[in-house]
Chains A and B, each alone.
Chain A
């Protein structure tokens, strides 16, 4: 790939906790990626629109409110509906381990829970980007 990896960092739903999202966004940027942060309270439709408009390689979403089982899969299915199948989708937040298999099945490539280092997130994204 001849251009830097482009990542949309998004906060779906009504959750206002964005410390993690912002720390991750900044660390991705420091790692040389181009980062677009959507800000709070994004609907799944708005997030999909941002991914398409920004021609992103990766979508990184964060939820700490417990609405992940509803919102993460919804974003993935909307992406599919819009014919977007080459964007790596990852998620993070306070997400119980029992929920992770279901989210992976729904098309989220990885879920990063509290305690994850930014380096492991950066590595995962770099190694798993679908667009070459």
Chain B
């Protein structure tokens, strides 16, 4: 960035300054002997041009929407339009969730994000034995196309974009979405949205897997292929670091393990005969936002640069869109405290700034009561307002990548990229992400970080305001959202009616066709869509696939 002589002078001056400060430390010591980021980088007292003297602007940063996309994937970023404000919501029945969506849209939310309950995420109907006690709890219960019709009742699917947090049964829920749109008169090519569809991080960190690795990867590549032809505006996967971070990883590990998973998906799709530029542009990502504002900004920038290089250099992508890392962000649930929950609003504000300064494409802000229960309508509104205040009032959205050029931010961006590359190299040596997961390597790394973090809190080395410092006596929180246990019974009753009213011959025929196709190499999407149209339930469809594919056996690592 500077000519050699100038850089040398700056460096010498900085060293002199630092030595001078050090000589006075005995009298005026700093708060810590060593300062470190979550990723383990030692944070220096001061950053100067000397820290980025070798930075090549054109190759390492470049301008927005130019390779390697460090500064963002759109030329005007938020000057064109703000990020999509997308609150993850869903609970109880489809009807109740539909009301929440309409409320959020009326409050100025710009995209939907569907939370499904655990039975839905694991492919069980609400009347399955393992669903007991779980129906409608962490999201909405969807058993069949009937529920999906209620969920989107009165919401035109060509006007909203919808993100669905669904993984193992992603093909089934996408099929239902396509079928609902069909009934609204909206063709699949007009649909836009995202399915999470990221099974590897389910094995690593989130736990809602169904099938073993190989058939799971096949379902994913089937979706890539089908959507590239018929649902071209759909984001076919959201490769997620969010849950990896929630499980305890640090920022550099979040980037590393997410991109390692990304590499595994690209390899699987290429192996299945797809061209990298046919599916590459529809890959999307999902990251966390924690409190360490500057490290988080550097993390997003490093992830963008690294993915661009991976797609171009490792996979030979030609289409710039294949190289652009587009991502959704959610603020960090695990950073919120049950103590003095109002403080969480401030944490979420910092995290919102991190995501926006890091160039996110969409954002979910957590509600202050996250550590206590599902959010109430009031808490969700405050969370949405937090985004709106940052967007409309803070001024940070007025220029692209405003922190670029900060000596510290650039140094940290470089550091996170380097650390992430080291991990990816290690994972390559193990034989790729799938092998590294099967061996428990990734899980172990995350658990070690989680344990370290907890011990730092318990030794007061890390301060969490209101939890291990500045505590107050508090009464129990009032007015939390409760899901009526009657929801489970209600869903069961709906299933009884459904099974009476639908044409069960058609259902069985479609399920048998799916079974046969699953035993071959055919793309399963058309068969799943057919089955969904006959009102075959999610549990029935996943049941057939369970019979053909078997189930994943978790490797328990402690």
**Chain A contacts to B: CB under 8 angstroms:** 13-19, 22-23, 25-27, 29, 35, 37-41, 43, 65-67, 69-71, 94, 96-98, 113-115, 117-119
Contacts and interface: CB of A to CB of B under 8 A. Distances in A.
A43 B558 contact: no
Contacts of A67: 133-134, 137
16 contacts: A14-B124, A16-B118, A16-B208, A19-B247, A40-B207, A41-B554, A43-B130, A65-B138, A66-B134, A66-B373, A66-B374, A94-B373, A96-B373, A98-B476, A115-B371, A117-B457
Given A23-B451, A115-B371, 8 more contacts: A13-B118, A14-B118, A14-B134, A15-B134, A15-B138, A22-B450, A27-B451, A118-B454
B558 A35 contact: yes
B133 A13 contact: yes
B42 interface: no
B134 A19 contact: no
A15 B207 contact: yes
B127 interface: no
A66 B476 contact: no
A70 B133 contact: yes
Contacts of A94: 371-373
Interface size class of B (residues with CB under 8 A): 35 or more
A65 B118 CA distance: 8
Contacts of A70: 132-133, 485
B351 interface: no
Given A25-B558, A26-B451, A115-B467, A97 B476 contact: yes
A19 B246 CA distance: 8
Residue from B137, B467, B477, B482 with most neighbouring chain A CB atoms (10 Å): B137
Interface centre among B138, B477, B480 (most CB of A within 10 A): B138
Contact of B202 (A16, A97, A114): A16
A22 B557 CA distance: 9
Given A23-B454, A67-B134, A117-B458, A16 B558 contact: no
B447 interface: yes
* 10 shortest interchain CB distances as A-B pairs: A16-B207, A70-B133, A14-B118, A97-B476, A67-B133, A66-B137, A39-B556, A114-B338, A114-B371, A67-B134
A96 B372 CA distance: 6
Contacts of A43: 130
A33 B472 CA distance: 33
A19 B334 contact: yes
Interface string B447-480: 1001100100110000000010000000011001
Nearest to A117: B458
A36 to B, nearest CB: 9
B467 A37 contact: no
A67 B451 CA distance: 26
Interface in B237-279: 246-248
B133 A71 contact: yes
A81 B208 CA distance: 31
B554 A39 contact: yes
A15 B118 CA distance: 7
A67 B373 CA distance: 12
B137 A65 contact: yes
B339 interface: yes
B490 interface: no
B516 interface: no
B375 interface: no
Contacts of B467: 115
B206 A16 contact: yes
A26 B118 contact: no
B358 interface: no
Contacts of A16: 118, 202, 205-208
A18 B446 CA distance: 12
B134 A37 contact: no
A84 to B, nearest CB: 22
Contacts of A19: 246-248, 334, 450
B213 interface: no
A97 B478 CA distance: 10
A18 B477 contact: no
Interface string B97-140: 00000000000000000000011011010000011111001100
Between A16, A39, A41, A70, the greatest number of chain B beta carbons within 10 A of the residue's beta carbon is seen for: A16
B337 interface: yes
B483 interface: yes
Contacts of B132: 70
Nearest to B482: A96
A51 B451 CA distance: 25
Nearest to B457: A117
Contacts of A14: 118-119, 121-122, 124, 130-131, 134, 208
Max chain B Cβ within 10 angstroms of own Cβ: one of A29, A40, A98, A115: A115
A117 B460 CA distance: 11
A71 B135 CA distance: 13
Contacts of A65: 118, 134, 137-138
A97 B480 CA distance: 10
